[in-house]
Amino acid sequence: MSTLIKQLLNLYQCRAGAKNVVTIAGPKRFVRVQGSPELSAEDLIGDIDPVLAMKYGAFDPRAYKPGRLVRANRQILFVDEINRMSDKIQNTLLQVLQEGEMTIGNFDVNFTIDTIFISTMNESDVAGRETLSEALKDRIERLAIPYPSEGDELTILEKYGKNVVNVPDEIKIKIVRVSQRTRADGELKFPASARSTLAVYELSQSFAKLRYSDKVNKDDVGSVIQLAFSGRLSPAVDSDYFNDTSSYVEKLKEIIHND
């Protein structure tokens, strides 16, 4: 993500012909918005502060409390799960992305928004999902991020997985190969994610601790496969395991014991 942001910054500066570049620490210029059906226009645009409205008057600019879009001026605006936002909120972004400015509520004034817009979405998600409008799609470039390769997933385990007891390298490889198998055999509509791999990795360490061992073995991993995967995998409609996820997970254990 950091490399992508740097590339976008360089592209933006070239297009804008930036001459006076001010360096700001990343966390200070990163404005995050969590996409949600409950997100309101006031969250993005801003609203009148009741206390300041009583002091200055409801139509006095000093009573205005800026929202995240305003705070993102000359910053990076990151919207996570953009397709969970309602059509109304998506439309709020259109003027910013098209014209680089925003109309503020009760004030007859346009506020210039100079921002780099980055968003994420999970198209396979269903709950709380809205349709991303064609107008909004036309104003953003889309990049599909695939599942990690075996080598990348091993790196994820070693970087983000919690380590309570020793996990031998050969066990780590087996754990990763189980997840890789779910993505390659065509049996699943929703295969194992990297989070599923981390769950197997960490739960197997817990099972090792329960037997008072300081080292994970194949039996530990085999014991947690059903626990970690049963609620995370969804077989495809045309799969032999459509109504029998447990049997599919049992088949995965063969990779642990025989691979």
Give residues with Cβ within 8 angstroms of 136, minimum separation 6.
Answer: 90, 93, 94, 97
Dihedral sign, Cα of residue 64, residue 87, residue 29, residue 98: negative
The amino acid at 224: V
Per-residue pLDDT of the chain in tens (259 residues, 90 and over written 9): 445 445 544 544 554 455 566 677 777 788 999 988 888 888 888 877 888 888 888 777 777 788 888 888 888 999 999 888 888 888 888 877 777 776 665 555 567 778 889 999 886 655 556 678 888 888 888 888 899 999 999 999 999 999 999 999 999 999 999 999 999 988 998 899 999 999 999 999 999 999 999 999 999 999 999 999 988 999 998 988 888 888 999 888 888 877 5
Contact 5, 118 (CB under 8 A): yes
Give residues with Cβ within 8 angstroms of 258, minimum separation 6.
Answer: none
Please state whether the predicted TM-score (pTM) of the whole model is above 0.85.
Answer: no
Cα 91 from chain centroid?
21
User: Which run of H or E residues covers position 98?
Assistant: helix 87-99
Contact 80, 120 (CB under 8 A): yes
User: Alpha-carbon dihedral of residues 42, 98, 117, 20, nearest 10 degrees?
Assistant: -110
Residue whose C-alpha is closest to residue 123's, from 91, 88, 90, 81 = 81
The CA distance from 49 to 11, in Å, is 37
Residue whose C-alpha is closest to residue 78's, from 30, 11, 21 = 30
Q: Which domains does the chain have, with CATH numbers?
A: 2-137 (3.40.50.300), 150-258 (1.10.8.80)
